[in-house]
Structure 1
Amino acid sequence: MPHVIVEYTDNLGADARIPVLLETINGTLIAQDGVYPTGGIRSRAIELHNYRVADGKEDDAFVHVTLKIGAGRADAVKKRTCDTLFDAVKAHFADAFSRRYLALSLELVEFNESGSHKRNNIHDRFRRER
């Protein structure tokens, strides 16, 4: 953990720059002072082709980021993470935001550990690199 899912409307086109955004997201989470183990970070993007924004009369676009983390972190840690991550998303889309109608949002979801199953040997690589 954490997992990040970016949903974005296909009308963003080249403004989306999704590979750069995912790199930024992972880097932002890695930079959170070890709160999130690097080997557990997953980010992915889903381009939406079927959507409707507002009244549907403009070429409105949106990007919604869902951050999923395991339960148990302090509220201050969660707030810092969300603030930092949302700032990175806003910076990524600043140019597009200045030129077009665009809604940006971020949502935090905490997993209950009793309902989350994981198996991951990627962590081993990062333990060996220390």
Structure 2
Amino acid sequence: MLGSKLDDYMRFNETALSLRSARQSVIASNIANADTPNYKARDIDFTSALQAAMDKADPNAKPTLSTTAGKHYPSPQQGAGTLADGTPLLYRGVVQGAVDGNTVDMDVERNQFADNAIRYEAGINAINGQIKAMLAAIQPGN
């Protein structure tokens, strides 16, 4: 029972960090493909992805279907348009298209990469704060 309460206490920040990490990979992929003809910049809607992940992690939520054979379709659907956890990958809006069809805008990508990295660091600090608060609560003499 204690593990469940600790999981509940840490769940939000853990889920947010996981999504931030996945988003950082997507943005890094955009940057790496800045010179690839016809590459379309991708991103995730962090707010809706976090909400969906929290709903999925809710112990009172409906169970999801699991596959039992290789020919079964995964639930949620996975493919080029989703991350491994089922988070949909969206196309970033075109600010200024290139002649070769590439939609990566390096200024946008660098800004998004830096913003996401700062928010990831803030998430790490939040988890550290939670751990320090738990340690302070179990120290003798408090």
Calculate the TM-score normalised by the size of structure 1.
0.29
Greater share of strand: 1
Greater share of helix: 2
Calculate the TM-score normalised by the size of structure 2.
0.27
**Rg larger in 1 or in 2?**
2
